Amino acid sequence: MKTAEIAQRYLDYFERNGHTIVPSASLVSDDPSILFTIAGMVPFIPYLNGTVPPPYPRAADVQKCIRTNDIEEVGKTARHGTFFQMLGNWSFGDYFKEGAIGYAWELLTSSEADGGLGFDERDLWVTVYEDDDEAASLWKKIAGLPEARIQRFGAEDNYWSTGQPGPAGPCSEIYFDRGPKYGRDGGPAVDDSRFTEIWNLVFMQYAITNVRSKTEFDVVGELPKKNIDTGMGLERVAFIKQGVDNMYETDQVRPVLDRAVALSGRPYGAVHEDDVRYRVIADHIRSSLMLLSDGVTPSNEGRGYILRRLMRRSIRAMRLLGVDAPTFPELFSASRDAMKSAYPVVDEDWARISQYAFAEEETFLRTLASGSTILDLAVTQTKDAGGTELAGSEAFLLHDTYGFPIDLTLEIAEEAGITVDRDGFDTLMREQKARAKADAKSRKRALADVSVYGDFRAKGETVFTGYTDLETESSVLGILVDGVPTDRATEGQIAEVILRETALYAESGGQVADKGVIVGPGYELEVLDVQKPVPGLVSHTVEVTRGDVGLGAPATSVVDRANRRAARQAHSATHLVHAALRDTLGKTATQAGSLNRAGYMRFDFSWSQALSAETRTEIEEIANNAIYDNLEVTTRVLPLADAKELGAMALFGEKYGETVRMVDIGGPWSRELCAGTHVATSAEIGLISLVSESSVGASNRRVEALVGHDAFRELAAERALVAELSANLKAPRDQLVARIAELGANLKAAEKKIAAFEAGKLAERAPELAASATTTGPFRVVSAAIGAVGSADDLRTVALAVRDRLGDEPAVIVLGAVAGDRPVVIAATTARAREAGAKAGVLAKTAAGVLGGGGGGRDDVAQGGGTDAALLPDALSAAVRALEVA
């Protein structure tokens, strides 16, 4: 039974039993405390904890999930995968334990001919929470399971909570017996490899508080509405139904594994280490494909870092299998073909997905090449200094700064005959993880518990009137001070105010929040920010500038008209620039993020190379021609499927409901899903002036533009600057470029003459410096700070001139100077000095360490530098002392 068929049978079964079928949410989680949708229940948290009223009493879905906390286990077990799909059925105050158990048992054990999954009842075991007699009794009643196949576990295994105060409850897990080939008999309590968990039924019936750990908390009482949250692992059911040993060999994953085998030429199933690598590749390529399809792009932080790590682990595994050439074009294509029947977007959006994937592989292959060079140098320096162990800090630098894998560092070091201070590396890694964890916790704390908004959201959605009105009368629904609900805010306080209706736009879709005020009898509130803390609810952060405001008070939200007008211009300009980019570069130049505020817009798009000046001009011209043509701007609210069929573009990472707002500028020329505010016709934008274009990653570019009056003021300032230059240089405007080029050439010529003069003066010092040589051990040493020089090259010239004068002696020259306000050191050695053990690279590095910088180089000549020029005498002394142990 194919994976997609299992999923469809699941959905069909629950739809027949009155459940609303809900599409999978994005892998990018709405919850700011987590990066990804890590479990099937994540999209339903607002309904489960009562923050948002559920739109249906019961539902079922197939949810895409990413979980990387067990990434090191991927490939080693039958069930660990970073991307997985969770089949779930949900009840929000509707059916409870008896319904959940009945549905699960019927679907699992009904014959395939009747639409079930066809499991043999004799192969199924269950676990229940140790005190949940009700669940145990229901399993006997509904499924006829004997006591021996119902095992009781403690809270560590069979009690669910979010880890925070709120809803919780016991759970019951269903296990499949894979048979004696896979381990000992006796149920999941004896062997959870033979007995594989396939379904978890969570009975959310209690409210808990004072959560101290997973197993330590206080039960407040029963929830007024009890919920059901279930999750069945699609991959686990698939590998059982398909008769294979693990999830990596199922129909959606195995094609990638087979392609990797073909590329490497090594068989699967022959060598354990190779098999693990093949499974890692198969899993990580699929996970990367799915993350890219949901708009995540490779980067060095957050979600992008996780994606980059998955992709680079795949590249690394292929390298260990003997393949150094690019493999992503074949591996990603194999994954696309395996997944497109379940997720058509991976095929429809292949041009964009493949662009990011292939560029990332190309970048990392270059990283491996450059990292190998850096590592080779570190190894050489370690051995030259008489060491046998590469410092943990060096290995960590390669990993953290260059993305060079530690296992590759270990391999190369071993080949060179030295070890790596793995304990030192691991210590630095732990410190980094601790910092990241602390940062995540602080962010989680800073984003207060959204359950505080539950009572307000339960009264209905905030009505946004700002598309048509800039003032709206309403009333105060809620007030929070320091995150705590209160009935009044007084003059001078910062508070959150929730209204039933508002004309003020809440930040979303790249558009910043409106400016404005909220006024009522005896009070005035300056609006500092407008946000949506939970879906459907708008909260205004305000400063009470006059009077007091209380619950239920009349309130009129007033939008700053000038700011809104400029914000509308900027948002509509963003759409025009997007359309112009696609006209110029093609359909793969898709949006990767945006920001627009009054007078300014920023637009990120998928593209891997800088735009030429001609291309920038063309994009700017197309966008401004659209303004000149005074295109009509229309908005429509329609079903999401209809909007997509009409070709509307969606912003990756944005969440869309079943109905969406579609904005057209000039009909289909610019057609996007957008909840922002816009002008009525394109001429209202006035003017777009592109001011910059830059890189924001290996495959992303960014354009920034000024809009409307801000664009006009910028161009007026440039015109004034041109006029001033023209007057000062006594050249007409059309001759300015030639005149400035002429002045530049004259300046360069003058600089060359000055540099030649200064170099000559420095060279004249060579005899004096050579004559100052002193003896240290077997060496004749020249050590001096010679003041300021034009560049490090000038200092190098002097050092080499001194060395030439001492060429027949075992001479060492260490000179220091200040170049451009920074200290620089040059070390040089003669052939006889090198024979006696002097190494210029070691001396330069020693001196640079005193200066607070770095250095190194060849044995004959090397350079170092730092930040503190006052330490030059100490640096030179340190280098001379290093000779004593050479």
Task: Give the angle subtended at the CA of 425 by the CAs of 419 and 428, to the nearest 5°.
Answer: 165
Query: Is the residue at 432 inside a domain?
Result: no
DSSP-derived letter for residue 34 is -
> End-to-end distance of the chain based on CA atoms, in angstroms?
72
The reply, when asked if residue 575 is annotated as ligand binding, is yes
Residue 590 identity = T
CATH number at residue 461: 2.40.30.130
Q: What is residue 449's predicted lDDT score, i.e. its pLDDT?
A: 59
Per-range mean pLDDT, top range of 310-319, 510-519, 692-701 = 510-519
What is the secondary structure of 563-619 as a DSSP string?
A: HHHHHHHHHHHHHHHHHHHHHHH-TT--EEEEEEETTEEEEEEE-SSPPPHHHHHHH
pLDDT for residue 240? 94
Q: How confident is the model at residue 441 (pLDDT cuts 50, 70, 90)?
A: very low
Residue type, 638: L
Residues 270, 195, single domain; the answer is no
Q: Look at residue 587 in the predicted model and tell me its pLDDT.
A: 84
What's the mean pLDDT in 115-133? 95
Are 279 and 154 in the same domain? no
The mean per-residue pLDDT over the stretch 721-727 comes to: 92
- Distance of alpha carbon 194 from alpha carbon 183, whole angstroms: 5
Angstrom distance (rounded) from CA 399 to CA 371: 9
- Residues 137 and 69 both lie in one domain: yes
Q: Which residue has the tokens 């994953």?
A: 253
Any residues with CB less than 8 A from the CB of 208 and at least 6 apart, and which?
161, 165, 166, 167, 168, 217, 218, 219, 220
In the predicted model, is pLDDT for residue 448 greater than 50? no
The CA distance from 232 to 202, in Å, is 11
The answer to whether position 74 is within a domain reads yes
Quick check: 814 pLDDT over 60?
Answer: yes
Q: Which of 249, 274, 307 is the last residue of a domain?
A: 249
Q: What is the mean pLDDT of residues 490-497?
A: 94
Report the DSSP pairing between strands 523-534 and 700-707. Answer: unpaired
* Predicted pLDDT at 143: 94
Query: What are the tens digits of pLDDT across the range 30-52?
Result: 776 678 888 888 888 888 877 88
| Position 336 in a domain | yes
Domain assignment of residue 21, yes or no: yes
Average pLDDT over residues 825-848: 93
Provide the token pair at 822: 């920074």
What is the predicted pLDDT for the residue at 655? 63
- 268 and 219 in one domain? no
Q: Which domain holds residue 106?
A: 3-249
138, pLDDT greater than 50: yes
Read off the CATH number of the domain in which 801 is found. Answer: 3.10.310.40
- Is 272 annotated to bind a ligand? Reply is no
The pLDDT of residue 438 is 60
Q: Do residues 554 and 571 both lie within one domain?
A: no
CA distances from 261 to 243, 334, 545 (A): 21, 12, 69
Q: Would the pTM of this model clear 0.75, i.e. be above it? A: no
Nearest-angstrom CA–CA distance, 406 and 393: 12
| Tokens coding 320 | 């260990």
Q: What is the per-residue pLDDT for 512?
A: 95
Q: What is the number of domains present in the chain?
A: 5
Mean predicted confidence (pLDDT) in 3-32: 91
Which of 223 and 761 is assigned the larger pLDDT? 223
What pLDDT band is residue 460 in, cutting at 50, 70 and 90?
A: confident
Q: How confident is the model at residue 444 (pLDDT cuts 50, 70, 90)?
A: very low
**With bands split at pLDDT 50, 70 and 90, how would you rate the model's confidence at 698?**
low
Task: Kindly report the average pLDDT of the chain as a whole number.
Answer: 90
CA distance 338 to 340: 6
Residue 97 near residue 134 (C-beta atoms within 8 A): yes
Both 64 and 130 in one domain: the answer is yes
pLDDT at 503: 97
C-alpha 289/C-alpha 330 separation (Å) is 13
Q: How high is the pLDDT of residue 445?
A: 36
What percent of the chain is helix, strand and coil (3-state, nearest 5)?
A: 45, 25, 30
Does residue 62 have a pLDDT over 60?
yes
Q: What is the pLDDT of residue 152?
A: 95
Q: Is 709 annotated in some ligand binding site?
A: no
568 and 488 both lie in a single domain? no
Does pLDDT of 781 surpass 90?
Answer: yes
678 annotated among ligand-binding-site residues: yes
Of 51 and 655, the structure prediction assigns the larger pLDDT to 51
User: What CATH number should be reported for the domain holding residue 701?
Assistant: 3.30.980.10
User: What mean pLDDT is predicted for residues 389-395?
Assistant: 87
pLDDT above 70: residue 654: no
Query: Distance (Å, rounded) from C-alpha 508 to C-alpha 506?
Result: 6
* Residue where one domain finishes, among candidates 249, 280, 304: 249
- Give the pLDDT mean for 511-538: 94
Q: What is the pLDDT of residue 440?
A: 45
Is the pLDDT confidence value at 404 over 60? yes
Looking at the structure, do residues 69 and 196 belong to the same domain, yes or no?
yes
Residue 115 lies in a domain: yes
**What mean pLDDT is predicted for residues 782-798?**
89
DSSP three-state, residue 531: strand
Does residue 383 fall inside a structural domain? no
At 636, list the tokens: 């429509």
- CATH number (domain holding residue 46): 3.30.930.10
Domain annotation covers residue 408 = no
> Average pLDDT, stretch 164-188?
91
Instruction: Encode pLDDT of 78-107 as tens digits.
Output: 667 899 999 999 999 999 999 999 999 999
Q: What is the pLDDT of residue 30?
A: 74
**Closest by Cα among 424, 311, 426 to 358:** 311
* Lowest mean pLDDT segment, chosen from 26-40, 242-256, 777-791: 26-40
- Whether residues 276 and 196 share a domain: the answer is no
pLDDT band with cut points at 50, 70 and 90 for residue 821: confident
Residues 8 and 116 in one domain: yes
pLDDT value of position 530: 96
**Residues 360 and 483 placed together within one structural domain of the fold:** no
Q: Which residues is 603 bridged to in the sheet?
A: 594, 703
Confidence of residue 383 (pLDDT cuts 50, 70, 90): confident
Q: What is the pLDDT of residue 442?
A: 44
Q: Which of 502, 525, 559 is the last residue of a domain?
A: 559
Identify whether residues 782 and 647 lie together within a single domain.
Answer: no
Checking if the pLDDT of 443 tops 60, the result is no
Residue 799 is assigned to a structural domain of this protein: yes
* Pairing mode of beta strands 600-606, 700-707: antiparallel
